[in-house]
Amino acid sequence: MSTADGTQKIIVSDISVLVVKKEVKNLHLSVLPPLGTVRVTAPFRMKDESIRIAVVSRLSWIKKQQTKFQDQDRQTLREYVSGESHYLLGKSYRLKLVSKKGVPKVFTKGKTQIVIEIEKDISHEIIEKTFLKWYRENLRKIVDSLQPRWEKKIDVKVKKVSIRHMKTRWGSCNSVSKTIWLNLELIKKPTSCIEYVMVHEFCHLIEKKHNDKFIELMDLHMPKWRMYKDELNRMPLAYEKWKY
């Protein structure tokens, strides 16, 4: 079965698999957060039966990865009300709404609170928008501070690093335009995890695939990257329907 965007969906041992055919040389299989969606990128020439065989051969690994995501802690849908918990750079804070006229402000207070100063009776949508704008500004500061150092260390030049809502990825890149995209959700994770995703995408500007050369680049520039990756995947996910 094909979807509207040309992606095929096949069922292998009761597992739904998204199949995308592209101008690539080899098949690549991924299990994506937050729900353990299985995605296969395959060459145009590869037959469906060959794709099925490749998926079957990795069923044990696929189920193991899906179990990890299923067992991972999840926050409930955020309502942006006082007393609610929100993560910032790996730490949990309690939200406090303060009624105050003027331009809305968001800031941390001590080690336990995030305060939103905003006019009384403002809609939930505006409070959420104000909070996410603050999240974005904080992530931008971190990215801008890290980018020059890692460009120099890896010896790449990134034209642009954008922050956006992403459904299934922490980051992505376009090696032709030298553009990197980072998931806004990263602001909830420790700085080391943000740095890991940036280095991962910067290395993809040199090597597109997750092959031995890519692993060598990661090992060279960030020897502890596996630890940071595990830490990132252990952190609580946003909520069941990953709406970025």
pLDDT digits (tens, 9 = 90+) for 154-163: 999 999 999 9
Counting residues of the chain whose pLDDT is more than 70, the rounded percentage is 89
Helices (H) and strands (E) in the chain, counts: 6, 11
**Does position 167 have pLDDT exceeding 90, yes or no?**
no
Find, among 234, 123, 133, the residue nearest to 189 by Cα: 234
- Of the two residues 197 and 48, the one the predictor is more confident about is 197
At residue 87, the 3 state secondary structure works out as strand
pLDDT at 220: 96
34-44 tens-digit pLDDT? 678 888 999 99
The model's pTM is: 0.72
Q: How far is CA 99 from CA 94, 111, 114, 123, in A?
A: 17, 21, 14, 13
Which residues pair with residue 114 across a beta bridge?
95, 108
pLDDT at 241 over 60: no
pLDDT at position 177 is 92
Q: What integer pLDDT is reported at residue 80 of this predicted model?
A: 87
Which pLDDT does position 1 carry in this prediction? 47
Q: What value does the mean pLDDT of the chain take?
A: 87
135-139 CB contacts, 8 Å cutoff, 24+ apart: 135/88, 135/184, 135/187, 136/163, 136/184, 136/187, 138/88, 138/89, 138/187, 139/163, 139/182, 139/184, 139/186, 139/187, 139/194
Q: What is the pLDDT of residue 146?
A: 97
Q: What is the mean pLDDT of residues 60-71?
A: 79
Tell whether the model's pLDDT for residue 168 goes beyond 90.
no
* pLDDT score for 34: 64
- Which residue do the tokens 């965007």 mark? 5
pLDDT single digits (tens) 70-114: 666 556 677 888 999 999 999 999 999 999 998 999 999 999 999
Domains of the chain: 8-71 (no CATH), 85-234 (3.30.2010.10)
The answer, yes or no, to whether residue 175 has pLDDT greater than 50, is yes
In this prediction, residue 4 carries a pLDDT of 43
pLDDT band at 227 (very low <50, low <70, confident <90, very high): very high
Task: Say if residue 5's pLDDT is above 50.
Answer: no
